[in-house]
Amino acid sequence: MKPKLESIEIGMSDAESETNLCYFDEMQYLEKLEKNNRIFLILGEKGSGKSCLAKGYEKNQKSKCTVVKRMRDSNMNVEILNCDINNIKDNNMLLAFYKYYLLLIIAKSLFECKTNKDLIFEIIKHPIRWLVNKHKLNNIIKEQELNYKLLNFNDTIEGATDTSINSSNVSVKYSRTNSYVMKSFQIIIHNMEECIKEIVKFIKPIIIFDEIEDYNIFKENLLRIESFIRIVKEVNESIVENHGRIIVVLKTSVFDYINSNSNNLNKIKEDCSIEVNWNRNYDAEKLPPLFELIMKKIIDKNEYFRNYSSEKVYKELFPPQVKNVPIREYIINATYGRPRDIIVMLNKIKVMYKDKTFFNEEFFANTRKDYSKYFFNELNNDLNTDLSQSDKDELFNIFRRLGSYQFDIVKLEEVFNNAKFEKAFTIDTFIDFCFEKNIIGFIKDSKYNWKYKNEGIICNKSCKFALHNGLGKYLLGR
């Protein structure tokens, strides 16, 4: 008997919580990440599956001589508790701190690796090298608080003499001059580098920094992420090399913001990153990779469909079109083409029509308002990086005053001229910002053009504009 919608498991909107990731890699992202040691940066928008990709890599890399550490904001805050990096104004000192911090995380993770037969076998071959470097590195870790104190130029260290010898055999004079402190700190970093280079020959460290734009230490100044990315690249190339990897997971929009306001990161993006994007070109005769992913999720999680092909599941569960629009196009137009958006949309239908066995055309229309509210809330949260709450309110109120899914620049000028608000935007900056954030697209030759479907596209301001279909129901009420 064909199962009811409520019993058809589609998966969770948070793909990272999934236990079986076999269906995820329709775009061969995981294969590329594993084969290319230069890649350390995973980019993608919220809900695209970038954290899921990192989890898949983590799962595949676990072995008897590998230690994997996934860093979250809480982990990072604990690690840097003794140093307020917002007081570090000198960029070279900031780079030195990030390098020290990364080495410290690697060192601690190496000591967390459980002893096993493979590791013991490697140690037996080189016991002196292992023990000497482990002892040196352990002593440096013990001096963590003292080392951080070197960066706090305005602090006083109670009971400290002019010159002390710490257990890593580094002479540290508590001078408050940047040059001397920098020199002392670089010596510590050098000692850590030399020890880690030897120990990673025994144990392979995998460190994953997930969604670093949400870390408290970066929230006040996202541009500091640029320094962090550059140091991660340096450590990967000069210290870890082929004996592990440090991976950074970051939103594409945040990366683009940093790149536009700092030194050129395009080469790092080109050579050292993977961008999770499900809207790239695909064979029109086949199911798009995004739909393949959803269908494979259904096949994997539901016994009834276990022997079905993706195409057969698709035809058995979905209508050919909604409101005369092909179902694939309708779903992509109502979302940003991200797995999370589509799973949320389908789960809302499941809740409302749990006793049905098919995603009828009318179900999509009847749940559109509820989905549009979710879509608006997701966008509202994403804009926190760029706008204050009052500026966001102004932006959304402009669309309410426009009152239509489609508008031209003349109508927009009319709203701007008549509205009584602070005007955080000019007409040009409003169009540019909304197009960049995929809030609007433009219509040319009856074709709708969106940035999330075509990364290199430039907004044509002489054309009519269209509000994103996923937002309209909530913002306009229709």
State how many domains the chain has: 3
Residue 112 lies in a domain: yes
Same domain, 171 and 195: yes
| Confidence (pLDDT) at 61 | 78
Same domain, 92 and 195: yes
CB 394 within 8 A of CB 363: no
Which of 276, 301, 327 is the endpoint of a domain?
Answer: 276
Tokens of 223: 């541009």
Same domain, 52 and 144: yes
Residue 69 lies in a domain: yes
Residue at token pair 């701190």 = 97
- Residue 115 pLDDT class (50, 70, 90 cuts): low
Same domain, 331 and 191: no
Q: Between residues 297 and 315, which one has the greater pLDDT? A: 315
Same domain, 60 and 203: yes
End-to-end CA separation in angstroms for the chain: 38
Using CB atoms within 10 Å of the CB of residue 175, give its burial: 0 to 12 exposed, 13 to 18 middle, 19+ buried: middle
| Confidence (pLDDT) at 387 | 87
Same domain, 305 and 413: no
Residue 23 lies in a domain: no
Same domain, 401 and 464: yes
When mean pLDDT is compared across 27-31, 140-144, 261-265, 305-309, the lowest value belongs to 140-144
Residue 449 lies in a domain: yes
State the pTM of this model.
Answer: 0.78
Range of the domain at 418: 378-476
Same domain, 259 and 393: no
Percent of the chain having pLDDT more than 70?
75
Same domain, 168 and 253: yes
| Confidence (pLDDT) at 31 | 86
Question: DSSP alpha helices (H): ranges in 200-288?
Answer: 216-219, 224-235, 252-260, 266-272
- Residue 468 pLDDT class (50, 70, 90 cuts): very high
Percent of the chain having pLDDT more than 90?
33
Q: Is 138's pLDDT higher than 80?
A: no
| Mean of all residue pLDDT scores within the chain | 79
Which of 366, 389, 406 is the endpoint of a domain?
Answer: 366
Residue 16 lies in a domain: no
CB 55 within 8 A of CB 16: yes
Pair type for strands 171-173 and 163-165: antiparallel
Q: Between residues 99 and 218, which one has the greater pLDDT? A: 99
Same domain, 328 and 389: no
Task: Give the orientation angle of helix 427-436 with respect to helix 409-418, to 10 degrees.
Answer: 120
Tokens of 442: 């433009």
CB 269 within 8 A of CB 41: yes
Same domain, 192 and 261: yes
Same domain, 304 and 427: no
- Residue 156 pLDDT class (50, 70, 90 cuts): very low
Residue 163 lies in a domain: yes
Residue 18 lies in a domain: no
| Confidence (pLDDT) at 210 | 87
| Confidence (pLDDT) at 153 | 39
